[in-house]
Chain A
């Protein structure tokens, strides 16, 4: 059921690379089954992915969706029970982690507590037999890149969480791997630090131009950082696309619900022509982009920020639904309304309104309102 929109070519074009360039990482029908108490548990159920050179790619999904297992198969810590893992075109299935040209940043950082920051970062270079003078030079560069100059002799245990994070990043980057794998690297940091580290990661990735594969359950983080996102659920890729694509046009009900908030309206198709359908919901008729057979019951989705409270007459051709405000939450720049749509199917619609007008125009709990949005901003979800 994995509905993957567009292969890796979209990103390759966008980053100005040739379409025939070898992808940094390619997964071909990769699956992983565990044995747990005599039962076979499928963690990953056939994933196909191509990650381009220099791409910032995110695996996004709830815990248990198989994103970490997928990444660990790329790193070599887990062997797939089916399929092939390729790095720069070469089949690395069965190759142990220390012979793979990828490096990982662990969620717990996994720094070596008995070594100085310098020795931590130099670990990989020394294992590869890089001469001491070059080790010094490259570690110096890496330390500078993550802005830890002057802390080389410190033990990582004496550093703050954010600084440890930087050491982990430098320790992996200094080896100039063909891809960097990051397993929820910011999860242990507090909100402020996380936000500044996000910008930092983006800057570093642009500077070094290395492929980043970023595992996260935080949809905001994935949207902020990524060139492309693979939304995973139940061991499968639900949707693959740019942040705009997965947010604006969720391909599945899961994606619609997991990324941001979505309003789901269900009803019967009463008209369908030219990629626009009309759906009769409990509160009234609305139109949405997509196609469906007449009489079919469908679900359409519309994002909260696309909906406005109609003051006067609605735009010609716009959707319109009457309802009653049951909650209004003032958040400073925006107000979040929950509106019970008229009709007996109990549909509640959430909308986010920019507070551009004065407080006098704000709707209050219990007010009768009319909701309106453009039909091309709501979509039919595939069954």
Chain B
């Protein structure tokens, strides 16, 4: 979509009134105006993104310890150490994030579809209902799930009492509990982008497909689904990245055996004060996620995604 936006066009010099010399500085000022307006954003990015990234990158290549201080020694071995030591948590994070993303897609697409196509006058109400839980703190919501899913809690307790579940059954401290928690917490991040695309779609194209001998299912598969791919693409990215890096759900709902890489980064920083190691894992995670996104975009065909969006 952005590719179709014209770049900020400074007024061409010829267009300026060919009056006195006084108009020249004014013309220059006008030319600089777009850049001036963009300056706060650039400053913000430089200060809070570029600088931290660079300093993190240098920390990841340092060696030493907390007491004697860390020195930049271009210690690339940190990366090898990080992968060798924590590949299990890294792989687990990607697997949990991937499962949660698929679950969000499976649950969220029909929700987005229903609101966009059948929501009628109440679309905004349904969206608000979807977002309402987000007004409660993320950590608090996750802890509530812990209470709900406890071994003798409101769900499992009665089921065990009437003998539907064996006494030993438990949900907490398992991988599915973590995936479910992640999917619950990040569902709106999937629904919103998919909804935005479906809502903007000319609903007459569905009728056109039906008019051209496609039944409801065929019309969905041939027309609605491919046209909504840009939204799915955005939704998957917005869900997969935070779920893969999340550690609260794993910590609260997953117990000791389901640690995700986010938790490792946190404890390396704050508990062990092993800053270079923590920074190295961070960059490994970032690299893996970026590689995943690019290959995903390649597989889906960016051109197609952009084309439909530019409509």
Q: Is the interface of B mostly helix, strand, loop or mixed?
A: helix
CA distance A175 to B211 in the complex (A): 11
CA distance A123 to B222 in the complex (A): 9
Contact A114 B207 (CB under 8 A): no
CA distance A77 to B219 in the complex (A): 14
B218 CB–A CB distance under 8 Å: yes
Q: From known contacts A98-B215, A175-B212, infer whether A108 and B204 are also in contact, taking CB-CB under 8 Å.
A: yes
A253 CB–B CB distance under 8 Å: no
User: How many chain-B residues does the 8 Å CB contact rule pick out?
Assistant: 24
Taking a contact as CB atoms closer than 8 A, the residue among A77, A102, A123 that contacts B209 in the complex is: A123
Taking a contact as CB atoms closer than 8 A, the residue among B204, B223, B227 that contacts A106 in the complex is: B204
Q: From known contacts A98-B214, A113-B227, A127-B218, infer whether A106 and B304 are also in contact, taking CB-CB under 8 Å.
A: no
Find chain B residues with CB under 8 A from A103 CB.
211-212
Q: From known contacts A112-B205, A157-B310, infer whether A75 and B211 are also in contact, taking CB-CB under 8 Å.
A: yes
Taking a contact as CB atoms closer than 8 A, the residue among A97, A113, A127 that contacts B207 in the complex is: A97
B308 CB–A CB distance under 8 Å: yes
Number of inter-chain CB pairs below 8 Å: 74
| Best-buried of A97, A114, A124 by chain B (most CB within 10 Å) | A114
Find chain B residues with CB under 8 A from A77 CB.
207, 210-211
Find chain B residues with CB under 8 A from A104 CB.
207-208, 211
Q: Which parts of A98-130 form the interface with B (CB within 8 Å)?
A: 98-99, 102-104, 106, 108, 110-114, 123-124, 127-128
CA distance A99 to B213 in the complex (A): 6
A257 CB–B CB distance under 8 Å: no
A96 CB–B CB distance under 8 Å: yes
Tell me the smallest distance from the CB of B309 to a CB of chain A, in Å: 10
Contact A96 B210 (CB under 8 A): yes
CA distance A96 to B223 in the complex (A): 18
Find chain B residues with CB under 8 A from A97 CB.
207, 210-211
Contact A171 B212 (CB under 8 A): yes
Contact A127 B227 (CB under 8 A): no
Tell me the smallest distance from the CB of A178 to a CB of chain B, in Å: 14
A155 CB–B CB distance under 8 Å: yes
Q: What 1/0 flags go to B212-233 for Cβ under 8 Å of A?
A: 1111001100110011010000
Taking a contact as CB atoms closer than 8 A, the residue among A96, A108, A124, A157 that contacts B212 in the complex is: A124
Contact A113 B311 (CB under 8 A): yes
Contact B211 A114 (CB under 8 A): no
Find chain A residues with CB under 8 A from B210 CB.
77, 96-98
Find chain B residues with CB under 8 A from A111 CB.
205, 208
| Nearest-neighbor residue (CB-CB) of B204 within chain A | A110
Contact A114 B213 (CB under 8 A): no
| Best-buried of B208, B209, B210, B308 by chain A (most CB within 10 Å) | B208
CA distance A114 to B202 in the complex (A): 13
Q: What 1/0 flags go to B226-247 for Cβ under 8 Å of A?
A: 1101000000000000000000
Find chain B residues with CB under 8 A from A172 CB.
211-212
| Nearest-neighbor residue (CB-CB) of B207 within chain A | A77
Tell me the smallest distance from the CB of A196 to a CB of chain B, in Å: 24
Find chain A residues with CB under 8 A from B209 CB.
112, 123
Contact A114 B226 (CB under 8 A): yes
Tell me the smallest distance from the CB of A134 to a CB of chain B, in Å: 15
| Nearest-neighbor residue (CB-CB) of B219 within chain A | A98
B14 CB–A CB distance under 8 Å: no
B3 CB–A CB distance under 8 Å: no
Find chain A residues with CB under 8 A from B207 CB.
77, 97, 104, 106, 110
CA distance A56 to B227 in the complex (A): 35
Find chain B residues with CB under 8 A from A128 CB.
213
Q: Which parts of B38-92 form the interface with A (CB within 8 Å)?
A: none
| Nearest-neighbor residue (CB-CB) of A101 within chain B | B213
Contact A114 B227 (CB under 8 A): yes
Find chain A residues with CB under 8 A from B310 CB.
157
Contact A113 B214 (CB under 8 A): no
Find chain B residues with CB under 8 A from A123 CB.
209, 212, 214, 222
Q: From known contacts A127-B218, A157-B310, infer whether A110 and B208 are also in contact, taking CB-CB under 8 Å.
A: yes
| Nearest-neighbor residue (CB-CB) of B203 within chain A | A110
| Nearest-neighbor residue (CB-CB) of A174 within chain B | B212
| Best-buried of A75, A98, A106 by chain B (most CB within 10 Å) | A98
Find chain B residues with CB under 8 A from A113 CB.
205, 227, 307-308, 311
Contact B212 A114 (CB under 8 A): no
CA distance A110 to B207 in the complex (A): 8
Q: From known contacts A77-B207, A157-B311, infer whether A110 and B212 are also in contact, taking CB-CB under 8 Å.
A: no
| Nearest-neighbor residue (CB-CB) of A127 within chain B | B213
4 closest pairs, A vs B, by CB? A124-B212, A110-B204, A110-B208, A127-B213
21 A-B Cβ contacts within 8 A? A98-B210, A99-B213, A104-B208, A108-B204, A110-B202, A110-B204, A111-B205, A112-B205, A112-B227, A113-B227, A114-B304, A114-B307, A114-B308, A123-B212, A127-B212, A127-B214, A157-B307, A157-B310, A171-B212, A175-B212, A175-B213
- Apart from A98-B215, A106-B208, A112-B222, what are 10 other A-B pairs with CB-CB below 8 Å? A77-B211, A98-B212, A104-B208, A114-B227, A114-B308, A123-B212, A123-B214, A127-B213, A157-B307, A175-B212
